[in-house]
Amino acid sequence: MVHGYKGVKFQNWARTYGCYPEMYYQPTSVEEIREQVLALARQQNKRVKVVGGGHSPSDIACTDGFMIHMGKMNRVLKVDTEKKQVTVEAGILLADLHPQLDKHGLALSNLGAVSDVTAAGVIGSGTHNTGIKHGILATQVVALTLLTADGTILLCSESSNAEVFQAARVHLGSLGVVLTITLQCVPQFYLQETSFPSTLTEVLDNLDSHLKKSEYFRFLWFPHSENVSVIYQDHTNKPPSSSANWFWDYAVGFYLLEFLLWISTFLPGLVGWINRFFFWLLFNGKKENCNRSHKIFTYECRFKQHVQDWAIPREKTKEALLELKAMLEAHPKVVAHYPVEVRFTRGDDILLSPCFQRDSCYMNIIMYRPYGKDVPRLDYWLAYETIMKKVGGRPHWAKAHNCTRKDFEKMYPAFPKFCAIREKLDPSGMFLNVYLEKVFY
């Protein structure tokens, strides 16, 4: 018997959104979800929201109805070493999956920056990393099982319920409860990460050669300057080594930065200086790290922050970044924290993937919240969104954005197809919430 709790407050990691679900459940089996939670929701006409790690800096996981937290359904169900595939329960955190894969000499070919996220949440929100030969993380899914509003369990793959599979890999939590996921792995590998300083002009003029040179290439641009830190990550046979250092990474890169950003909330003109100062202090030399792939891919998001991250056609990278830079130069009162993180991802055929049918560049902007204090960001946000829309961008589903159904209909050629699948699987809208109503209505 699964017990529901009243009065539980759900809050996302960035503490930008919170809600009080009417009932909060932590089921341990499919039967509990199907026979108790969903049956009761149907009977009382309640909405249901499934949450994972709660890392999304938006209100995508909020509800005032029933909330199902999948944290107790977190087992590895099967490892097929021949096919190099692993089947897991939807609630497993990637951080807990990595050591299990290590034991079998396997790894995921690509990962996002954070591993305190669940397998179902990672795919549902369209999480990505970088590497023009690599798709978003959901492209590693070869099969999944989905529990729909009426209690049916669908096995979805390329060969079974293929249309639902094409939709369910970026599901937004709107199609049902994802129960299990089968992921395509690769043999365990080590990565060498090399970072070195450059300029925005150099990187944008030689983008194609950077993309060819490194499998997982990204760069960080420091707004209010020409400064760029280029980051290459590539397969290596070298033993683990690190140039990380507590004093520089934490004492300076975290505590001093937070203090200076806090001061800049009173003196906004300092932000440009802070960006240039930290580039000189921490990013001006060449650095190398080698380690197991998952240890290089993931890093700590130390600050609470507001984030926007849009995918634009890869060929629009230069135009969009130069326009963002020109906007900041023309409006000295608009301040932008570093970094603007620029990553690249292969196109795919998942209906609501921001990379649907095109190779993409993700342009991630951040405004930190020093000591939890909100900083003025709306002018920056609006200017950025305007540029992103102009070049044909699509927002990251888990991050903040102001788009509605009208926008998505323009952005996604397959939007009507996804809507038809969603309405068929969930005709009464059991899995909707305020965020999803803006998307679908």
DSSP strands (E only) in 200-272: 218-221, 227-236
Element (H, E) at 325: helix 317-330
403 lies in some domain = no
Same structural domain, 262 and 302? yes
Tell me the average pLDDT across 95-115.
Answer: 94
- Which CATH number do you get for residue 138? 3.30.465.10
One domain, residues 63 and 94: no
344 pLDDT band, cuts 50/70/90, is very high
pLDDT at 16: 67
**pLDDT on residue 280:** 94
The amino acid present at 420, given as its one-letter code, is A
For residue 57, pLDDT over 70 is answered with no
Task: For residue 402, tell me if it sits in a domain.
Answer: no
Q: How many domains does the chain have?
A: 3
Per-residue pLDDT band at 60 (split at 50, 70, 90): confident
- Could you tell me the CA-to-CA distances from 148 to 84, 192, 422 in Å, in that order? 29, 43, 10
Q: Give the rounded percent of residues in the chain with a pLDDT score beyond 90.
A: 83
Q: Return the pLDDT at 70.
A: 94
Mean pLDDT of the chain: 93
Q: Do 10 and 156 reside in the same domain of the chain?
A: no
Q: Is the pLDDT of residue 96 over 90?
A: yes
Quick check: 61 pLDDT over 80? yes
CATH number of domain containing 59: 3.30.43.10
Are 251 and 120 part of one and the same domain? Answer: no
Q: Does 404 reside within a domain?
A: no
**Is residue 48 domain-resident?**
yes
Q: What is the pLDDT of residues 282-322, one digit of tens each?
A: 999 999 999 999 999 987 767 778 889 999 999 999 999 99
46 and 89 assigned to the same domain? no
Whether 122 and 253 map to the same domain: the answer is: no
What pLDDT, in 10s, does the model give residues 125-174? 999 999 999 999 999 999 999 999 999 999 999 999 999 999 999 999 99
* Tokens coding 258: 């937070």
Two structure tokens written together for 336: 């932008």
Would you state the torsion angle of the CA atoms of residues 385, 395, 254, 9, taken in this order, to the nearest 10 degrees? 110
Burial 249-262, CB ≥16 within 10 A → b, else e: eeeebeebbbebbb
Question: In percent, how much of the chain has pLDDT > 70?
Answer: 98
pLDDT at 228 over 70: yes
Residue 55: the pLDDT is: 67
Q: How would residue 399 be classed by pLDDT, with cut points 50, 70 and 90?
A: confident
Do 285 and 389 fall into the same domain?
Answer: yes
The pLDDT, as a whole number, for residue 250 is 72
Looking at residue 32, what is its pLDDT?
96
pLDDT, one tens digit per residue, over 311-328 is 999 999 999 999 999 999
Task: Work out the average pLDDT over 34-63.
Answer: 87
Closest CA relative to residue 335, chosen from 367, 305, 304 = 367
Q: Read off the CATH number of the domain in which 222 is found.
A: 3.40.462.10
| Residue 96 and residue 225 in one domain | no
Q: Residue 405: inside a domain, yes or no? A: no
Structural domain boundaries, residue 128: 71-187+410-440
The answer to whether residue 108 sits within a structural domain is yes
> Is 92 in the same domain as 179?
yes
Nearest CA to 341 out of 230, 215, 212, 255 is that of 230
Contact 152, 94 (CB under 8 A): no
In a domain, 401, yes or no: no
Region 43-70 average pLDDT: 87
The pLDDT score that the predictor gives to residue 10 is: 83
Same-domain check for residues 126 and 268: no
| Residue 400, in any domain of the structure | no
Same domain, 64 and 112: no
> For residue 15, what pLDDT is reported?
66
SS (H, E, C) 265-313: CCCCCHHHHHHHHHHHHHCCCCEEEEEEHHHHHCCCCCCCEEEEEEEEE
Q: Are the C-beta atoms of 343 and 321 separated by less than 8 Å?
A: no
Buried b (16+ CB within 10 A) or exposed e, 402-412: ebeeebbeebb
Q: What is the pLDDT of residue 54?
A: 72
Within 10 A of 248 (CB to CB), how many other CB atoms are there?
14
Same domain flag for 13 and 138: no
Q: Are 155 and 143 in contact (CB under 8 A)?
A: yes
407-433: pLDDT as tens digits? 999 999 999 999 999 999 999 999 999
Determine the pLDDT at residue 71: 92
- Give the 3-state secondary structure of residue 217: coil
